[in-house]
Amino acid sequence: MTAPTRFSAAAAGPAPQPPAPDARSSAELIRAEGPVLAHNYHPLPVVVARAEGVWVEDVEGRRYLDMLAGYSALNFGHRHPALVEAAHRQLDQVTLTSRAFHNDRLAGFAEGLAALTGMDMVLPMNTGAEAVESGIKVARKWAYDVKGVAPDQATIVVAADNFHGRTTTLVSFSTDPVARAGYGPYTPGFRIVPYNDLAALEAAVDETTAAVLIEPIQGEAGVLIPDDGYLAGVRELTRRAGCLFIADEIQSGLGRTGRTLAVEHESVVPDVLLLGKALGGGIVPVSAVVARRDVLEVLHPGEHGSTFGGNPLAAAVGSAVIDLLSTGEYQRRAAELGEVLRAGLAGLTGKGITGFRARGLWAGVDVDPALGTGREISERLMREGVLVKDTHGSTVRLAPPLTITEDELSSAIEALGRVLGE
Ligand SMILES: *Cc1c(COP(=O)(O)O)cnc(C)c1O
């Protein structure tokens, strides 16, 4: 038997057909979920069946402007043509090898991501939580192997109101009782200090500290932007203390704030960056720990891994995402349209909005509690054809795809104004 020298197109099967739609209505599908789907989410009552760009369409054909963008996993909109093309092309070549073998997409992905972020080395993972977990493992190992912290004594300083994901270790240092309660025993080794408080951070850091782990902007907490100088202060403090600065840019990074990374607003270069969400182009989960060589070098074969991390499909889509960001166009759009968003929200302040925080195309909007909870405002906006998500209490988060037009953005802000005026 002779080995085939190339694969025929026929081996890939017939041309793809759209999936057969579920014949049930939105209401029936929502009811059907109840008994069979874990109740760990409370979604808005919209059942999306198709999407393109900034628009999604439900089962009945109603269209909505997506102002959440998958918590910034959809920075380039739904099914961006360049990303879909990269995925389609890769589907016809090879999709999974495991890291037992090399694949021909991984070198380019790592080179591209290192160049985009100005870092040296990349550890590819899948979800954001895995990237944070991996960053914690790398920091602890660095503390023992390089810094010389006594075995099992390493600490990591984190901020109150953080959101880093949902694993057992990550909820161990969450200050949100809903996210944390009931999951003990908790992973030790974390010290929690108030966010945006350099004095508290300084007091918590000592010779056992492996790293300070923070979000440059706290997204889930309501798009909390620290004071100017905070990130630079964290950089200075961690450098002086001889510990790592890990920036979780999983939500704030990759164009959202008008820069490739949110830390760039203070010209800060952390030791370790955690990326995810938009890195997968809204198509596949792709995350990464990106760091200096002397940090990521602490990992040796067998000491960490993931079956799916760095798979060829993920690397191909991730590379296409990096190509989009390398043009600077999306960062520019986020910065320019961010001014439109900011002006629109300023116009609503005192008219149903008590305050807001915005950077780039990302805003946390505090709605006057007398007008309803964030959830109620989100439901009313849904009926106006705009999808958003509440965070805590009466805060609504706006984070549209960076591909949104000025007219679409203005129409979403007008819809918010109408809802607040009701
Ligand atoms: C979403 C998010 C995570 C977790 O990402 P998952 O892909 O949901 O595991 C971690 N950190 C930040 C800042 C996030 O926004």
Considering only CA atoms, which of 150, 152, 155, 214 is closest in space to residue 189?
Answer: 155
The CATH architecture annotation of domain 93-326 reads 3-Layer(aba) Sandwich (3.40)
Please state the rounded mean pLDDT for residues 277-282. 98
Is 277 known to be catalytic? yes
Two domains, one topology: 48-79+329-421 and 93-326: no
Residue 391 pLDDT level (bands cut at 50, 70, 90): confident
Minimum mean pLDDT range among 14-23, 80-89, 315-324, 343-352: 14-23
Range 61-78 average pLDDT: 98
User: CB-based contacts of 141: which residues, under 8 Å, 6+ apart?
Assistant: 298, 299, 303
- The residue nearest atom 15 of ligand 1, judged by CA position, is 251
Residue 79 has pLDDT above 70, yes or no: yes
Position 17 scores a pLDDT of 78
Q: Is the dihedral of CA 315, 321, 324, 329 positive or negative?
A: negative
Among candidate residues 58, 109, 190, 277, the one labeled active-site is 277
Q: Which residue is closest in CA terms to ligand 1's atom 5?
A: 128
Which atom of ligand 1 lies closest to the CA of 129?
A: 9
The confidence score (pLDDT) of residue 48 equals: 98
Catalytic position from the list 109, 163, 190, 308: 163
Q: Which atom of ligand 1 is nearest to the CA of 165?
A: 4
pLDDT of residue 3 exceeding 80: no
- Distance of CA 312 to CAs 90, 104, 347, Å? 7, 7, 47
- Asked whether residue 171 carries a pLDDT value surpassing 80, the answer given is yes
Instruction: Report whether pLDDT(10) > 90.
Output: no
Structural contact between residues 352 and 421, judged by C-beta atoms closer than 8 angstroms: yes
Question: Does residue 253's CB lie within 6 angstroms of at least one atom of ligand 1?
Answer: no
Domain 48-79+329-421, CATH 3.40.50.300 — does that match? no
Q: Are 126 and 277 in contact, with CB atoms under 8 Å apart?
A: no
Mean pLDDT of 217-226: 97
- CA-127 nearest atom, ligand 1: 7
Q: How far is the CA of 327 from the centre of ligand 1 (A)?
A: 25
Q: Is 351 a catalytic residue?
A: no
In this predicted structure, what is the pLDDT of residue 2? 52
Signed CA dihedral, 403, 400, 253, 231: sign only: positive
pLDDT of 9 over the 60 cut: no
Q: What pLDDT is stored for residue 331 in this prediction?
A: 98
- The overall average pLDDT reported for the chain is 96
SS3 311: coil
Residue 282 has pLDDT above 80, yes or no: yes
Hey, which residues does 396 pair with through a beta bridge? 365, 390
pLDDT above 70: residue 166: yes
Q: Inform me whether the pLDDT recorded for 393 exceeds 90.
A: no
pLDDT band at 21 (very low <50, low <70, confident <90, very high): confident
Judge contact between 289 and 134, C-beta under 8 A.
yes
Res 19: pLDDT: 77
Task: Report pLDDT for 22.
Answer: 86
β-pairing verdict for 244-248 and 272-275: parallel
Mutate to test the pocket of ligand 1, among 132, 174, 257 (most ligand atoms within 8 A of CB): 132
Distances (CA, A) of 184 to 132, 180, 277, 287, 419: 19, 8, 27, 27, 41
Find out whether the beta carbon of 215 lies less than 6 Å from any atom of ligand 1.
Answer: yes
Give the global pTM.
0.96
Residue 245 is a catalytic residue? no
For residue 188, the CA-to-ligand 1 centroid distance in Å is: 21
110 pLDDT above the threshold of 50: yes
Residue 65: closest CA among 398, 420, 419: 398
How far, in Å, is the centroid of ligand 1 from the Cα of 129? 6
State the average pLDDT over residues 311-322.
Answer: 98
In angstroms, the CA 39 to CA 43 distance is 10
Average pLDDT over residues 159-178: 98
Rounded Cα distance, 289 and 280, in Å: 14
Dist. CA 358–CA 413, nearest whole Å? 14
Domain boundaries, the chain: 48-79+329-421, 93-326
| CB of 71 sitting under 6 A from ligand 1 | yes
CA of residue 72 to ligand 1 center, whole Å: 10
- Ligand 1 atom at minimum distance from 220 CA: 15
Lowest mean pLDDT among 6-20, 108-122, 238-252, 362-376: 6-20
Residue with more model confidence, 122 or 8? 122
pLDDT of residue 12: 55
Assess whether pLDDT exceeds 60 at residue 375.
Answer: yes
pLDDT of residue 1: 46
249 lines ligand 1 (CB under 6 A): no
pLDDT higher than threshold 60 for residue 329: yes
Q: What is the mean pLDDT of residues 209-234?
A: 98
